[in-house]
Homo-oligomer: A and B are copies of this chain.
Amino acid sequence: MFGKDRYKIHPAEFASAIDSMSFDHALLSFMELPYDTQVSVFSYLNVLLQHKLVRSLSPQRAGYLLNHLSSDDRTVFFSGLSVSERSKYISYLDEKNKKSTQDFLGYPKNSIAWHIDTNFTVLSKDMTIAEASAHLRAFQKDTEAANVIYVADEAGKLLDDIQVRRLVLNVPTMKISEIMDGSFVSLNVTDTKETAIHKFKAYDRVVMPVINDDNLLLGVITIDDIMDIAEQKDTSDIQKFGGVEDLDYPYVKTGFFTLTRKRATWLVILFLGEMLTATAMGHFEAEISKAVVLALFVPLIISSGGNSGSQAATLIIRALALKELTLKDWWFVMRREIFSGFTLGMILGSIGFLRISLWQYLHWFNYGEHWALIATTVFCSLVGIVMWGTLSGSMIPIVLKKCKIDPATSSAPFVATLVDVTGLVIYFSIAAVILKGTLL
């Protein structure tokens, strides 16, 4: 369908074209491609479409495809399959690929193992650059993983990594040992994805070797995978902030029922929590009947607590995710947030006080003879609730992290709900003290 110029199109563009077609059309276009082009286009497709395509291919063609994928793409392909499909398609692999795929799938989802590319060539430090280049021409595939090459001793222990450009930028008669800098940065196969993202950024690398505890080189991770992982992690954090269980696939690819279920879960939890506001309000029903005017400010006051709590939670969760803050900074954060909360509470409280006084003065609304006491109640409540919101919003993520729970779980709506309930208690308690003997 792309005419005779099809093979000039970048595989990424071909993949996104296929992605936008109906499945039947996509399958036909894909099957028309030469086998090798199929492999490169396939690696750019989203994993849902990959599964659908493989189910429609003959075992021979599916086997060719799966065996020729890079090992990281292969592991990700298998990770999304059901158990029965997984064993079916694993039987299509040759012995070497079967073993490495099963090995990598054995690691937990949050480890980097699924993204290891085993296509790397190891050099000896006694080679000259010319010998090394000849060796690479014979054994190394032309992929992103080849941007860095590795030097290991006879036992396979990693000695150094060398950017492939250094083979070009140094004269061919030099020895590999002369262009080694003796310092390399590596990942351990059990490292988490966050560690990998952090290391790639800290050291500005494009490829990083992955070793096991014995310092044996298992494979490499390339930065394009790290970019994708970082983006997925941010998406998941953002969705959790917004009070949605993280979707595993993009919004447009997620079915209506999955989407609604993932949203309903948190919404119902928050609703059950928020029901406590009805209980709290019920507790103060007598006060409200005596002074209905108190009810008028309930949404204003509790939402201010919720908003300041969301702000604090957002700042702290992101700073924790970027490792700008660690758990031992809790006291620094707490002091700072108490002062912040106090200042912000004073600002909002003053605006609230002015609002009530002004409306009374201009006869826009009549808060009764005790309007000044009501304004004072609103002022004090706002100071207290904003401080409380700020403090909860900043401390809950730290406490969660301490308990090894992902801090992003304390989403903005979660903090807001918590502060709503407690905020009501603060508001009516302050009212009880200030208005005692007059309105109450």
A residues lining the B interface (CB < 8 Å): 8-10, 12, 16, 133, 136-137, 140, 142, 144, 146-147, 163-171, 182-183, 185, 200-204, 206, 223-224, 226-228, 230-231, 234-235, 237-239, 241-244, 247, 250-252, 256, 259-260, 263-264, 266-268, 270-272, 274-275, 277-278, 281-282, 285, 288-289, 292-293, 295-300, 302-304, 306-308, 310-311, 313-319, 322, 324-325, 329, 332, 336, 339-340, 343-344, 347-348, 351-352, 355, 365, 412-413, 416-417, 420, 424
Contacts and interface: CB of A to CB of B under 8 A. Distances in A.
Contacts of A230: 227, 230-231
Given A146-B169, A271-B348, A318-B238, A266 B311 contact: yes
B303 A274 contact: yes
Contact of A264 (B182, B344, B352): B344
17 contacts: A10-B203, A12-B202, A147-B165, A201-B227, A235-B318, A241-B242, A242-B412, A244-B311, A251-B318, A252-B319, A263-B308, A267-B347, A268-B351, A288-B295, A292-B295, A303-B420, A310-B412
A171 B271 contact: no
Contact of A238 (B10, B238, B332): B238
Contacts of A8: 182-183
A399 B156 CA distance: 58
B243 A307 contact: yes
Contacts of A144: 204, 206
Contacts of A306: 303, 413, 416
Contact of A263 (B133, B250, B325, B340): B340
Contacts of A304: 267, 270-271, 274
Interface of A is mostly: helix
A252 B329 contact: yes
Contact of A136 (B169, B227, B241, B272): B169
Nearest to A170: B137
Contacts of A200: 227
B12 A204 contact: yes
A304 B268 CA distance: 9
A313 B168 contact: no
B251 A325 contact: yes
Contact of A311 (B204, B242, B319): B242
A127 to B, nearest CB: 13
A365 B170 CA distance: 84
Given A168-B137, A202-B12, A298 B300 contact: no
Contacts of A234: 231, 234, 238
Given A201-B227, A322-B250, A281 B299 contact: yes
A119 to B, nearest CB: 13
Closest 3 CB pairs of A and B: A242-B314, A277-B299, A204-B224
Contacts of A202: 12, 16
Contacts of A137: 168-171
Contact of A223 (B183, B206, B424): B206
A256 B147 contact: no
Nearest to A43: B204
A147 B206 contact: yes
Given A239-B315, A299-B302, 17 more contacts: A10-B185, A137-B169, A137-B170, A146-B165, A201-B231, A204-B224, A238-B317, A239-B314, A242-B310, A242-B412, A243-B311, A250-B324, A251-B315, A251-B324, A267-B308, A274-B303, A285-B296
Contacts of A270: 303-304, 307
A203 B223 CA distance: 12
B182 A201 contact: no
A298 B317 CA distance: 30
A202 to B, nearest CB: 5
Contacts of A365: 282
A224, A325, A339: residue with the most chain B Cβ atoms closer than 10 Å = A224
Contacts of A256: 336, 339-340
Contacts of A238: 234, 237-238, 241, 314, 317-318
